[in-house]
Every structure is written in structure tokens, then in C-alpha cells.
Structure 1
Amino acid sequence: MKIIFIVQGEGRGHLTQAISLFQQLQGSNHEVVACLVGMIKQDDFSSIIEQEINTKVHYFSSPNLIYNQAGKGLSLKNTIIQNLKKLPEHNQSLNKMKGWMDKYQPDLIINFYDFLAGIYQLRFSQSAPPMICVGHQYLLLHEQFVFPKKRLVDRILVNLNSKVTALRAKKMLALSFSPYKNHKKIVSIPPLIRKSVLSEPTSQHAYYVAYMTNAGLLEQLTNWHKEHTDIEIHCFLKTEQEQEVTQNQKNLFIHKLDAKKFLRLMANAKGLITTAGFESVCEAIYYGKPVMMVPVPNHFEQACNALDASRYGAGISQESFNLDNFLTYTSTFQSPMIPFKNWLAEGRSKLIAELDSFEQVLPLKQA
């Protein structure tokens, strides 16, 4: 079966999931003929997908999240305004996608949570290939998922976005820390973790690794660290600095995003400090590292991730980058690494089974 990936390129999670699924499809009866990445502009980290996916990669402009001027929190108002302004640009993206579909003639689209992929299914409903969606966000549509309390409006908005990405989707493969029963079109599958993560040797040194989605959050960590300069922290984020790494203050190092270095340092760290992205938390669990999660303000999806991971036993959720509680937590941490790895081991067979079963009914749908 010929497959096209459509990947939401913001952050690193969906890109790394696409890489992992590509790797797991090697040796199967399914071929990824192209990968379409939705993002505002390419950066150093996005180039990793071209290095690790041996197929054609194309980029297009897609709706993205906008943060406030200080860079510290998600701005729903600015997100809506800026993306409305870019409607003509996004319309052009849909036309580009149609051209790529005509060129590659895929049997199936696998959408890694890109908004325009769902819109494409509506606009070109007569010719659009069938679509399956992959992402942790689809677990939030499951009847068993536990949400943060008293945030009903946020819950409605996030799930509305997920439903748009999955318009006319045949199935939603929801990445989860542990198995869930099937619910409507939602099938729970293990997280998608790249081979480079699985093969990284681990140990434990006295430093911590941090990953932040935007540089504005660094101020909180810097302020806390001024009183704790004996704690060594290596922080990865999108930065305009020319050097690969700079020293902010004693024992606080700022690194440009580098996927290989980030994994190497995390595999040997004492723990991970992050803004509650699903992928980084999964990698930390696999390495047996405790996680301190600080959801980006107003980012409900990350608040859900932090609650879900905390309930699973991966770490603790905090409202700011104050590490006092986390330092205590790491001393008594009991890792859920073993059950997580057991669930992870089922991933490839479940994925291939889902695609094989879909391929069996595909000729009937085309007849």
C-alpha cells in the first residue's frame, strides 16, 4: 500500500513520531511515498526528518500556535487572528497538497495531527485518499481519559481542533502510556519512539536536562537557578544564538536544538525538566528518568499531558520552573519503565495489523 504522511511540524513530537512510524514500516508491505510537513518555516530541528526518512519531503504553510509577546504562554486570541490572516496562504497549501496527491497517487494518508489534512478531506472529498490519524491528542476524545478539573471550555476547544484534523478519518490511532479499550474510531496504540532513542546507552550523572518549547520560559528557570548554582542543568530550546552551546550562568548551559545531543544528554541525566510535550516524556520514561512537567500557560493540551503522565507515575506537574519539589521527588522516584517497555514492544505488530486490515477492505472501497 502506498502511503503519504502529513505531519504537523510545530515542536518536535509529531516529526519524531513520523520518523518512528516510517522506521517501523520498513520491511512491511507498505511504502511511504512522500512526507508533507506543515510549518511556518524550516529550522535546524525540522531537517532531522529529511535525514531519517528516505522519501520525498515537501513543506507547506499550516496553522500554528501563537504565543504572547513575552513568549511565556499560549495566546488563543493571537492564534486565531494570525491564522485567519493567513487564510489565502493556507488555501495555497491545500492546492499544493492536491498537486502532491495527484503526483504520488497514495492509497492512504496518515495524518500526524495537521489541521489542513482534515480540511483537505472536506475540500477534495471526491478525490481525497482515505485517511488515518495518529497522535496522543486523539486519546483526549476517548471516554476514559481523565481531564484537568474546571476547564470545560478548554476541553471543548482542544477536542474541536482534534476533530477537525480527523475529518472523514477512517480511524484514529491514539498514542497512550498504557492500553485503553477501543472506543468508536479510536484505537489505543503504544507511543512511537525512534530507533535512535531505543539504542542510546543510559547511565546517571549529576546533571539535569531541560527542554522548552519557547525561549520566553527560560527566565523562570534562570531565576530559580541563581539561588542553586550548584545544580548543573543543560537546557535545549529554539534560540538565535550562534554558538552551539552557551553558559548562561554557573552550571546553566543553553543548547541549540540538536536531536542527537539532546537524547545523549537525557539518557545520562538525573531527570528531565520539560514543558509537558508527550514525546519527550515518553523518551524519559523509556530511559527510566523522572520528569518535571511545566505546561505552557494557557496550553490545555499540555496540562492534559502533565496530568496523564503524573497519574502514570512518570513524574510531577508544576506551575513554574521551580525545581525544589522535583529535587526531593527524584530521590524517591520509582520508574514505570518496565510496564512501559512491555507495552511499547506491542507497537509494531499492532500498527502493521491495523494497516493490513485496512488494506484488505481498500479494494472494496475503490470498486
Structure 2
Amino acid sequence: MRFLFIVQGEGRGHMTQAMVISDLLHKHGMEVVAVVIGASGRRTPPDYFLDAFSCPVYRVQSPNFVADKEQKAIKMGATVLENLKKLPRFIRSLQQLDHWVQVHRPDCILNFYDMLGGIYAMCYPFRATYLAIGHQYLMFHPDFTFAKPGGLQKVLFKLNTAITCANASKIIALSLWKPQRAMKNENHLVWPPLIRERVRRAEPSTGDFFLVYIVNSGYAEEIYRLAKNRPQITIEAFWDAQQVPARYLTLPNLTFHRIDDERFVEKLRQCKAYLSTAGFESIAEAMFLGKKTLMVPVKGQYEQRCNACDAEQAGAGRTADRFAAEMLEKLLEEEKNCTASATAFSDWQQSLDAAFLAFLTSIPSPIGKRILVD
């Protein structure tokens, strides 16, 4: 069976999920014929992602968030307006995407939470069998807890999520916790997080430093203040900034690293605790390695508030509105609970292989469905 991936490029987690699924497909004799990543001016796909695929990797303009001047908060109003202004560009992106589908002729198109991918599935419903995967689809589960207050941000989150899985024959939700009840729709599945093999092989230890990952560079100022006010602690931080050296020592106890997959996993394996904006995938990796996490959701991004709420209930750590020393102290008090959570999480992880095999056998056949222009 031939797969084409459409990957949202805004977050590292979706890229990681695509890499893991690619490995699983190859393991079972399936083929990934092309990868299309939704690009924006805010993010550049990392080399480790581009190097993970032997097939062509295409970049296409896709709807994305607009951040404030401090590069911290997401501005929802500006995001909607900016994406509306780029509508002609996105129409061209749909045409590009359709061209690549025509060239590679996949049996299945697997969308990793990219809005353009969902719109494509609505515009071209018979090109292939459509599938969708992402932790956001857990919102369809009856036991999912939405962050409060919700308001318009909750409505937009639900709308965006619905668009990304439009016309999907199977929708796979990734969860930090093992659900006790099934989804209401039999075509909705729940899997444990997709942990990379590199993380699975890592042997955790407890070092004397805190590890930080900030998706928006504006949070670097908070991390700097934290390190300056607490010179007795050591912080190793990873960020997306391209205008500074790959290793940037700002204080004797604070070092910023440009994103490097291998180095990040090594630091995560060794750290005392993990501090991050509330990205799902890295929280899952921290839980797998038994590391406590302090989660500071990106302001204005409702999805991250839901992530933090969900992760806190799963025993991953604590949620805060800023990176502060007092929250670190409270986090360190939870070591016993976090260890117990890591054991339960590891047991939940073991079910992935069986779930994936069942998924492969249940994919609807594309024969008789696909309509291509020769």
C-alpha cells in the first residue's frame, strides 16, 4: 500500500509523529511515496525531519498562526485575517498538492493535522482513502476535558480540528492516558503517543540541570530571568532562533541550543526535570523517560491549554502561566507520583504495535474510489 503524508509544519510534534508512522509502515512492507509539509514564515523544517525520508519531501504554503511582537502569544484575530488575505496563495497550494498526488498516486493520504490537507480532502474526495492522526482528535472522546474558559477559542479549535480530518475514513487520536471507554464513532481510534525509537532506547538518569524547550523564542526572556534569579540552578534550553550561534551561553548557568534532535534526546534523558510550552509530543517523551514537566501553554493557543490540562490529569507534571522558580520547587515535590505515572504510561505504550496492526487491516480499500487525471 502506498501512502502520501501531509504534515502540519507549525509544531515539531506532528513531524515526529510522521517519522514514527513512516518507520512502522516500512516495517510492515508499506511505502511512503511522498511527504508534503505545510510551511510558513515562522518555521523551517529541521534537517532531521527532511533526512528521515527517502522519498521526496515537498513544502507548501499552509494556514498557520500569527504571533505577537514579543513572539510569545498567538493572536487569533490576526491569524484569521492573515490567512484570509493569503487565500489566493492557499488555492495555489491546493493545486500544487493535487499535482503531487497525481504524480505519486497514493492509495492512502495520511494527514497529520494540517488544515490544507483537510481542505484538499473536501475538494478532492475521491483521490485516495483519507486518514487523519493527531492528539487533537482526542476531543471527540467522551472523557476529554476542555480547558476553561473556552469561548471563541474553543469554537475555533473545534472547527480547525474538524476541518483537518474532513472526509477521513479513520481518525486516530493520540492520548497520554489509556481510555476506559471507546470512542462513540467506530472509525475513531485511540492510540498511545508515538514515541521515537531513539527515545525508546534511551536510558534515563537524573542529572543536575533543567531542560527547556520553547516553541516561541519570546519565552527566552522568561528563561533568562529565571536563570539570573536562581544562579544555583543550571538550565539547558532549546529554541528555534536561527540568528544566534548553535550553542549560545547567555549566563554561566544558562545555555541555549538550536534545535538538534539527537542532542535534545540526550539532554532529556539526563535532565532533572523538563520545562516547556505545552506541546504534546515532548511531554509524552518526558513521561516515557520518567521526567517531571512544567508546562506553560503558549498564550492565545487554546489547544495548548487543553494539552496542559490533559497532561496534568495524566500525571505528567504541573501547569503554570509562566516559567517561575516557585513552580519548579513544587514540581520537584511530585517525583514519586511522576514515577508511578511513567510506569502506567509505559504499560499503555506497549499496546501500540497491536493497535497499528489492527489499523492496517481495517483501512478501506481505495480500489474503485480513486479518480485521477491521466
TM over 0.5: yes
1:193 to 192, 195, 216: 195
- Matched-pair contact (CA < 8 Å) for 1:176–1:190: yes
Moved more, 68-77 or 234-243: 234-243
Moved more, 19-28 or 275-284: 19-28
Give the aligned length.
365
In 2, the alpha carbon distance for the partners of 1:45 and 1:228 equals: 34
In 2, the alpha carbon distance for the partners of 1:193 and 1:114 equals: 20
Residue in structure 2 matched with residue 149 of structure 1 by the alignment = 148
Read off the aligned partner of 1:285 and give its amino acid letter: M
2:348 to 343, 350, 366: 343
Q: Residues 292-346 of structure 1: CA distance to partner in whole angstroms, max 9, x if unpaired?
A: 0000111110000001000010100001111312223214412211111111111
In 2, the alpha carbon distance for the partners of 1:146 and 1:43 equals: 30
2:363 to 341, 358, 366: 358
Residue in structure 2 matched with residue 70 of structure 1 by the alignment = 70
Give the alignment of 1:170-319 within 5 angstroms: 170-180=169-179, 181-184=182-185, 185-319=187-321
Q: Residues 199-247 of structure 1: CA distance to partner in whole angstroms, max 9, x if unpaired?
A: 1232111100000111111112222322101110011111133421111
SS in 2 for 1:226: helix
In 2, the alpha carbon distance for the partners of 1:56 and 1:11 equals: 20
- Matched-pair contact (CA < 8 Å) for 1:266–1:284: yes
In 1, the alpha carbon distance for the partners of 2:118 and 2:58 equals: 18
In 2, the alpha carbon distance for the partners of 1:115 and 1:43 equals: 16
Q: Residues 114-136 of structure 1: CA distance to partner in whole angstroms, max 9, x if unpaired?
A: 001111112223x4212110000
Structure 1 alignment gaps of length 5 or more = none
Moved more, 39-48 or 215-224: 39-48
SS in 2 for 1:26: helix
Structure 2 alignment gaps of length 5 or more = none
In 1, the alpha carbon distance for the partners of 2:357 and 2:106 equals: 17
Residue in structure 1 matched with residue 136 of structure 2 by the alignment = 137
Read off the aligned partner of 1:311 and give its amino acid letter: Q
In 1, the alpha carbon distance for the partners of 2:8 and 2:334 equals: 37
Moved more, 3-12 or 349-358: 349-358
Residue in structure 1 matched with residue 127 of structure 2 by the alignment = 128
Read off the aligned partner of 2:15 and give its amino acid letter: L
- Matched-pair contact (CA < 8 Å) for 2:174–2:192: yes
In 2, the alpha carbon distance for the partners of 1:42 and 1:58 equals: 17
SS in 2 for 1:116: helix
Moved more, 254-263 or 178-187: 178-187
Residue in structure 2 matched with residue 320 of structure 1 by the alignment = 322
Moved more, 323-332 or 98-107: 323-332
Read off the aligned partner of 2:49 and give its amino acid letter: I
Read off the aligned partner of 1:182 and give its amino acid letter: M
Residue in structure 1 matched with residue 331 of structure 2 by the alignment = 329
TM-score w.r.t. the length of structure 1 is 0.95
Read off the aligned partner of 1:121 and give its amino acid letter: A
Residue in structure 2 matched with residue 89 of structure 1 by the alignment = 89
- Over 3 Å counting, the alpha-carbon distance change for 1:320 and 1:190 in structure 2 is same
SS in 1 for 2:57: strand
SS in 2 for 1:260: helix
In 2, the alpha carbon distance for the partners of 1:364 and 1:178 equals: 38
In 1, the alpha carbon distance for the partners of 2:370 and 2:243 equals: 52
- Matched-pair contact (CA < 8 Å) for 2:294–2:331: no
- Matched-pair contact (CA < 8 Å) for 2:294–2:327: no
TM-score w.r.t. the length of structure 2 is 0.93
- Matched-pair contact (CA < 8 Å) for 1:15–1:46: no
SS in 2 for 1:66: coil
In 2, the alpha carbon distance for the partners of 1:320 and 1:42 equals: 22
SS in 1 for 2:23: helix
Residue in structure 1 matched with residue 106 of structure 2 by the alignment = 106
- Matched-pair contact (CA < 8 Å) for 1:113–1:135: yes
In 2, the alpha carbon distance for the partners of 1:49 and 1:28 equals: 21
Read off the aligned partner of 1:203 and give its amino acid letter: S
